[in-house]
A = this chain, B = another copy of it.
């Protein structure tokens, strides 16, 4: 019982044994992450098509709840780019029927659904479902989504209007059409922001290192890029009056004070309309979260329970729904930052949440003159690291089908949007897998001279007989490949007119389904008509058990089952 409660409340694993020694790292990590999260939260809210304060609200309560229910010690929960893109698509799909001021409430309902779905999947231990989204599909999906996200920010960078679309060529063409009406001040701020961010991210750490500055201070400084460009650009806009004077679009009034507890309205029609997107967001959010959690946990020999992780993310999303936020998950880059900045326990996230809360209460007026172009630059720099060429390169060499799954998903996302694109990607990966198992390798095997071993005659020097042949089928037999095996066997005996016996080694056959069993019977009949007796060798215990139940063993004849190819060949008079 005690173990069960602990499984469900991972907080009991770390809080009772919390030590002072852990606090330094947690404090530092909490502060560093907060410094990143405040501007990112606002930026991702903008990406989702929502007011910026929602990004801040989604960075308080969900963090506190995940600290209690989440199974990862260092995951940094909050708004992330991919999920925000999906939220944007969902809200966009609702069309003009929905007025703008209802969007925050709808985003909350979406978070509620995501939360409930995640918790249900977790409680029913269905986390394995996401295993069907292969790493290569994720990679293609993420790269394409990152490209779409980055280009979707062009309008803020250029200060022009470009309709939301996943068609990157349309975005580029609209951007080109609008070149003449570009807001140069916005563009300058945006490009300046990108340059500043890249400087902090890629250059500053080295500079500070050379200057001898290491430790927590350097961590905070190098991660402060977003905050610094936010501060600098806000001051620039305010001082030069760029908003009124040059038409630079600014964030404007952000309501101050902590988020109110909101009870999402129960609207069955709306919930049904949001359901497919909520599933997608749950899956994508979980995959991103659990991947980074696993990588980070393995570095400290900790464990992440996928199903508990679903519960943790689910509770965090319900927290987001009840506190005026929108869907959240564990972000890749922020979690890494949190880890590297020394987070030892989820207390780091609690500190982050408190700092964000302080920001919301006291600092929102400071963001009035924050230019949207800078938020866009934060998004662009953050997501471009998601474009992943490495996986493509590796899979191109190792397995073309993986590479094509990746490229297919990438193309499908660009062509059909993120939701349909991911579905197509999963379909492609599954189709490649089915294609492979439906065309199994069948190796003709012969005796390694002087031994009891039988090996593929194409790879080894072996002895074979004209009358007694042996083959090894390297796959389980099921509906999609049984007919293939039958065609192979009938062709084989047609091509080998002297053959009298065919021994099928089933050592790699882990199951035989009902369709395959029927084909096996038909194939045996066909071989018999051709004057060839079929034998089965090395059938595995569990497979044999099922064959017994089906009555196949009696019908086929126990004398045609053999423990090994060697035994079969010896009985059939094939000399050593």
Contacts and interface: CB of A to CB of B under 8 A. Distances in A.
Interface of A: 128, 131-137, 294-295, 298-299, 301, 303, 306, 394-395, 397-399, 401-402, 429-430, 433-434, 436-441, 456, 459, 474-476, 478-484, 487, 490, 494, 507-508, 510-511, 513-515, 517-518, 522, 525-526, 529-530, 540-542, 546, 549-550
A458 B530 CA distance: 41
Copies in the complex: 2
Nearest to A433: B478
Given A301-B529, A550-B394, A399 B513 contact: yes
A513 B550 contact: no
A549 B403 CA distance: 15
Contact of A134 (B429, B479, B542): B479
A343 to B, nearest CB: 18
Contact of A510 (B137, B440, B513): B440
Secondary structure of the A contact surface, majority rule: helix
Given A131-B438, A401-B513, A475-B510, 20 more contacts: A128-B483, A131-B481, A131-B483, A131-B484, A134-B478, A135-B515, A136-B514, A298-B526, A299-B529, A301-B530, A303-B490, A303-B494, A394-B514, A433-B480, A433-B513, A436-B511, A437-B437, A441-B542, A474-B540, A475-B476
30 contacts: A128-B438, A128-B483, A128-B484, A131-B480, A131-B481, A131-B482, A132-B434, A132-B480, A133-B479, A136-B515, A294-B522, A298-B526, A299-B529, A301-B529, A303-B494, A306-B483, A397-B550, A398-B514, A398-B517, A398-B546, A399-B513, A402-B514, A433-B479, A433-B480, A437-B437, A441-B510, A456-B541, A459-B541, A474-B510, A475-B510
Contact of A525 (B298, B402, B430): B298
Contacts of A401: 513
Which of A459, A475, A540 gathers most chain B CB within 10 Å? A540
A280 to B, nearest CB: 18
A298 B519 CA distance: 12
Nearest to A529: B301
A338 B518 CA distance: 24
Q: 10 tightest A-B contacts by CB?
A: A134-B479, A402-B514, A135-B515, A398-B550, A301-B529, A474-B510, A395-B514, A134-B515, A298-B526, A399-B514
